[in-house]
Chain A
């Protein structure tokens, strides 16, 4: 229940002092926040110069935090092959402890989901070494963007868990709620920046939440699509029709904060050495499932997009109790063919009561 917040430990931070607080954080952490660049695009960016960066907390950033924990391409090993043998060498890296500031609830939910993906079956060393030592400072969404539908996926506009500190914009000040131990530590460490929040402030947060809920411009019936998928009631024609329209660009998966499918490939550097790379992949590509020799267990023409939607809206619901679509709407903006998840939900629900 949003108003009886689990993040009960609440404080106030005046907006005037935000930069000062971030400056303190930046002394001990690498700082990543949504920054508006000179082309007016908002992107999560590593901030080197806090005074030069225009931090944007309202407009949702175009990228998510995915690239910071699962880079679009990362080197896993170098390898050499010589008369002595074929050997892999790990790549020495040190990931600085990082504060991710200004993370919207959808993107926070996505990080929590990725934590499951990369530690449920096996602990993924490359993900976890980036994730460990990271601090998440979230911001609730007072005014969801037109493409947003996190209210339908249970991942916004306000969030109760997942971050170390959670901010709510109350006009001239932020209500700051401390979630985890590390969040309390940050407040304690720099307590001069914070004042105690009153019941009035907490009431204002609740009011902001209520108003935010009313600001969604579209209704996406994700729950209904989930039920239809679970009941195997979505006709094959829906998958076939959308697969025909899919233009095979992979943009949805690349922008999606929870699409974590990857591939591993070797890049030769010369005849006897090379590097093993891990890079983002997309289940909509025919080559994703094609086996050596060309046989493909997925018929691309009619089934290309089935896995994408059944995974997010059925399999992950079975696994975690909630869909792994976080309602950020990024795929809706990028999709070439009109086969995004909102379209799928609409089509999946057609003909149902």
Chain B
């Protein structure tokens, strides 16, 4: 007898509750499923993503930037990149979108416990790490020191400013750098790798979570290796074109792995096994 099969491709309606403008290109959408029962039961883990539907635009994967320790709302931080994300930037509070998920292998939070955590991000790359950082702060005693290194193009491009402010207040060592300074900026100028030079982490005790554009990623990896980080101590999340989100359609292929289902979170040790653009250049 045919058994009923869950319709894994059916998006659920979600409402935009709030929009936080992070910079000219990035906004964070605070969303809740219109079905309140479902919304209250919804759980995810940091590093996972949602498939977002916008009318006439199809679907795109967006990583969840909220933390599982604060259920009830899903935060999606979105950079304007293509047709669908541009449409999202036209959303207003009260509008509805389609969501399905969460999908993907999350950051291994249990393995991170007791560790000093070093977060290195560029631009929108802070979005998937934001949930991890907030999660750590909500269970502060479970984790060691928290350090955030964040690179932006210019001071006015610095996204997640309110988060950075809150994190600092809660004792997170947040260090910022920009590619190009503007009047009034007295912080660091240069690549995010230069921020690593000033750090003296306890490497054996640490894990690094890196997320950013391929050029930055490769530069950071080189620097981390020279600091003594092994490939197992470096975690990242991969960005790929995706359609199904569940490991079937294969758009996100990475030399045999599927970014959506085998990732998007990978350790550098795992990535070294693969022939991928991010490492080959």
A residues with a Cβ closer than 8 A to B are: 76-77, 79, 81, 85-88, 90, 117-118, 121-126, 128-129, 132-133, 260-266, 268, 272, 274, 276, 278, 281, 283, 288-293, 297-299, 307, 310-311, 314-315, 318
Contact call A292/B83, Cβ cutoff below 8 A = yes
Of the candidates A88, A266, A272, A292, the one whose C-beta lies within 8 Å of that of B81 is A292
Q: A122-B8, A298-B277, A314-B256 are in contact. Are A261 and B58 (CB under 8 A)?
A: no
Q: A77-B10, A121-B261, A314-B256 are in contact. Are A133 and B250 (CB under 8 A)?
A: no
Does residue B247 face the partner (Cβ distance < 8 Å to A)? yes
Contact call B251/A123, Cβ cutoff below 8 A = no
B residues with a Cβ closer than 8 A to A are: 2, 5-11, 13, 15, 34, 53, 55-60, 81-85, 95-98, 239-241, 243-244, 246-256, 261, 276-278
Contact call B13/A311, Cβ cutoff below 8 A = no
B203 to chain A, nearest CB (A): 30
Contact call B5/A283, Cβ cutoff below 8 A = no
Tell me what chain B mostly uses at the interface: helix, strand, loop, or mixed: loop
When chains A and B are docked, how far (Å) is the Cα of A311 from the Cα of B257? 10
Residues of B within 8 A of A290 (CB): 241
Residues of B within 8 A of A274 (CB): 55-56
Contact call B11/A124, Cβ cutoff below 8 A = no
Residues of A within 8 A of B97 (CB): 86
Contact call B59/A264, Cβ cutoff below 8 A = yes
B188 to chain A, nearest CB (A): 27
When chains A and B are docked, how far (Å) is the Cα of A299 from the Cα of B276? 11
Q: A293-B82, A318-B256 are in contact. Are A123 and B59 (CB under 8 A)?
A: no
Of the candidates A124, A289, A292, A314, the one whose C-beta lies within 8 Å of that of B248 is A124
When chains A and B are docked, how far (Å) is the Cα of A53 from the Cα of B53? 45
Ordered by A's residue number, 6 sampled pairs between the chains whose C-beta atoms are within 8 Å are A88-B53, A123-B5, A126-B9, A263-B251, A288-B251, A315-B256
B79 to chain A, nearest CB (A): 9
Contact call B9/A117, Cβ cutoff below 8 A = no
Contact call A297/B249, Cβ cutoff below 8 A = no
Q: A77-B10, A121-B261, A124-B248 are in contact. Are A291 and B241 (CB under 8 A)?
A: yes
Contact call B58/A264, Cβ cutoff below 8 A = yes
Residues of A within 8 A of B85 (CB): 292
B57 to chain A, nearest CB (A): 6
Residues of B within 8 A of A289 (CB): 240-241, 251-253
7 additional contacts (CB under 8 A) given A86-B13, A124-B8, A291-B81: A79-B53, A79-B98, A86-B53, A87-B13, A121-B246, A123-B6, A133-B2
A181 to chain B, nearest CB (A): 13
The 9 closest A-B pairs by CB, nearest first: A292-B82, A121-B247, A85-B96, A292-B81, A315-B256, A132-B2, A81-B55, A293-B81, A125-B5
Q: A121-B261, A129-B5 are in contact. Are A265 and B82 (CB under 8 A)?
A: no
